[in-house]
Amino acid sequence: MDKYINKLLEISESVSAAPNNSGAGFKLLEQKFDLPKVEANALEKILSVKNGFYAFQSALHFFGTGPDRPDIDIESWNSPDLWIKSYGTIKPDGLCFSEDLFGNQFYITHDGIYTFDCETGDKEKIARSFGEWCKLILDDYDYLTGYTLAHEWQKKNGPLEPGKRLMAKVPFSLGGDFDVDNLQIANAVDLMLTRADLAVQLASIPDGTKVKINIG
């Protein structure tokens, strides 16, 4: 396996003892998103070593497969009815396999790995393969995962439980501060649904228009 993939696996922590259960449902996901064979194999190998994990003090979450786990499985996370359809036409158009501290997604398509900004729906291609993605994460983990704020928030509030993310009370896209005082804990699904409402508004209105947000 790629040395950067191995390194990320080495420094990560699994929260589930459940074995990799990448059965028919997982295979259908791979087919649905038309993943290149080499990347589908890489993903399965990652999950065979650690069936989902957290890294950088839980700032980075990599989804695992199957039931009986303290967080949500990758099959359920990619179900359109959970949160994805709430983004409408700006939804991520690939397999979401990981997320940062704030719910921004990393997803893979037939032509590479992208980021999906959950507040705005903006997408950016950042890597061509899982190996390249792992290298980017390792080289710039603070920017790509939110590590510093994860550390500071947990120092003040205690460990971040599996399935939880930190949501900005005042969204970053609307000028909210990157500060622990602007962060609140949120269930990952609830965060995405809340941010979908914001992203859809931002995508459909001219610059300078007022938007309504729910900060919980």
Q: Provide the pLDDT confidence category of residue 66 given band limits of 50, 70 and 90.
A: confident
Q: Provide the pLDDT confidence category of residue 119 given band limits of 50, 70 and 90.
A: very high
214 domain residue, yes or no = no
196 domain residue, yes or no = yes
- Crossing angle, helix 37-49 and helix 3-11, to 10 degrees? 30
Section 47-64 average pLDDT: 95
How many domains does the structure of the chain reveal? 1
38 domain residue, yes or no = yes
Lowest mean pLDDT across 22-26, 83-87, 109-113: 22-26
Selection from 209, 188, 180 nearest residue 100 by Cα: 188
Adjacency order of strands within the sheet including 53-55: 53-55, 60-62, 95-99, 105-109, 112-116, 123-127
Selection from 77, 64, 106 nearest residue 187 by Cα: 77
15-34 confidence digits (pLDDT tens): 876 666 555 556 767 777 88
pLDDT score for 17 = 64
Predicted confidence (pLDDT) at residue 57 exceeds the cutoff of 70: yes
pLDDT score for 204 = 79
- CA dist 137 and 126 (Å) reads 10
Q: What is the CATH number of the domain that holds 68?
A: 3.40.1580.10
215 domain residue, yes or no = no
24 domain residue, yes or no = yes
User: Angle at Cα 99 formed by Cα 73 and Cα 143, nearest 5°?
Assistant: 160
- Two tokens at 41? 């194999």
Q: Is the dihedral of CA 58, 63, 64, 67 positive or negative?
A: positive
- Two tokens at 212? 């309504």
pLDDT score for 213 = 61
pLDDT score for 22 = 58
80 domain residue, yes or no = yes
- The H-or-E segment that residue 141 falls in is helix 141-145
pLDDT score for 68 = 79
Domain carrying residue 136: 3-204
pLDDT score for 207 = 67
Sorted by sequence, the CB contacts under 8 Å of residue 149 that are 6+ apart come out as 59, 101, 166, 178, 179, 180, 183
Section 135-156 average pLDDT: 98
pTM: 0.91
161 domain residue, yes or no = yes
138 domain residue, yes or no = yes
